[in-house]
């Protein structure tokens, strides 16, 4: 059942133009073969070639988000493995023949986890941003939920709560979501909300974490998937 609700997260800044609305001729994007690989498991990272406009491109990969280029290649598909469990930010920077650069950053979660969440972000024709959070259950889990940091100065609309209990904390700028039921391997929960531009300059990045219980033990992890604008 869909539950639509809107609230304003008020910014203290003066209204300015929203720079992200400018449409680029091409953009950087990629897809990992899995968002939850095992330790030492090879993950394929595929550049979104339809997002490009032809020509010659160089792909620079930063596997852990530390700002250091770990691989520079012209191959649209490459592989990396992580030696330790944890949350990693993968950044792809694409450079075209004129020197123009575009970047995309996504999170992956390495290691065995009971459940994990993947964020997808889609630009809408009306200028809104649709955010979809998919929680994928790997092992028996309960009390699954997540907390998202809301963008200052943007209007928030809950689109599909998937039966979750929700709370929008405007003062702390937090979206709190919780499912009180128990879930089994293979279950998936899909939650969505929209952001509408208000008194904001831009969205620098998305931030949040998910949590739950497995075998009576609480677990917390970072969100996988998109960390910035589409």
Residues in the chain: 230
Per-run averaged pLDDT (10 residues), the chain, 230 residues: 43 32 72 98 96 93 96 97 96 95 96 97 90 97 95 88 95 94 97 83 80 97 89
Tracing tokens 């739950």 back to the chain, one arrives at 212
- CATH number of this structure's domain 5-19+112-226: 2.60.40.1170
Does 3.30.300.30 match the CATH number of domain 30-110? no
Yes or no: say if 120 and 225 are a contact pair by the CB < 8 Å rule. yes
pLDDT of residue 19: 36
- The sign of the torsion formed by the CA atoms of 46, 86, 202, 200 equals positive
| β pairing state of 42-47 and 30-32 | antiparallel
Q: List the 165-169 sheet strands across, edge first.
A: 165-169, 174-183, 141-149, 208-214, 217-222
| Per-position DSSP letters for 157-224, written without gaps between them | EEEE-TT-EEEEETTTTEEEEEEEEEE-TT-EEEEEEEEE--S-S------EEEEEEETTEEEEEE-E
- The token duo for 218 is 């609480």
Partners of 42 in the beta sheet?
81
Residue ranges, comma separated, of all CATH 2.60.40.1170 domains in the chain are 5-19+112-226
pLDDT of residue 202: 61
According to DSSP, residue 4 is labeled -
Q: Could you report the per-residue pLDDT of 19-75, keeping only the tens digit for each? A: 333 345 899 999 999 999 999 999 999 999 999 998 899 999 999 999 999 999 999
Residue ranges, comma separated, of all CATH 2.60.40.10 domains in the chain are 30-110
pLDDT of residue 171: 87
């Amino acid at each position: 059942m869909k539950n639509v609700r809107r609230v304003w997260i008020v910014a203290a800044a003066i209204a300015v133009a929203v720079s992200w609305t400018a449409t680029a001729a091409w953009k950087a994007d990629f897809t990992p073969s899995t968002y939850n690989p095992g330790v030492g498991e090879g993950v394929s990272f595929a550049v979104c070639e339809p997002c490009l406009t032809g020509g010659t491109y160089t792909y620079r990969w930063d596997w852990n988000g530390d700002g250091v280029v770990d691989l520079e290649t012209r191959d649209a598909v490459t592989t990396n493995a992580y030696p330790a469990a944890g949350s990693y930010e993968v950044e792809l920077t694409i450079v075209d023949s004129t020197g123009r650069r575009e970047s995309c950053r996504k999170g992956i979660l390495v290691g065995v986890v009971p459940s994990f969440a993947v964020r997808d972000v889609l630009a809408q024709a009306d200028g809104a941003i649709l955010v979809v959070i998919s929680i994928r259950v790997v092992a028996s889990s309960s009390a699954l939920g997540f907390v998202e940091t809301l963008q200052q100065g943007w209007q928030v609309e809950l689109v599909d709560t998937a039966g979750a209990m929700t709370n929008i904390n405007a003062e702390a700028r937090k979206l709190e979501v919780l499912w009180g039921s128990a879930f089994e391997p293979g279950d998936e929960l899909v939650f969505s909300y929209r952001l509408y531009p208000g008194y904001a300059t831009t969205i620098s990045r998305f931030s949040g974490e998910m949590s739950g219980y497995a075998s009576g033990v609480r677990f917390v992890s970072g969100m996988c998937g998109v960390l910035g604008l589409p």
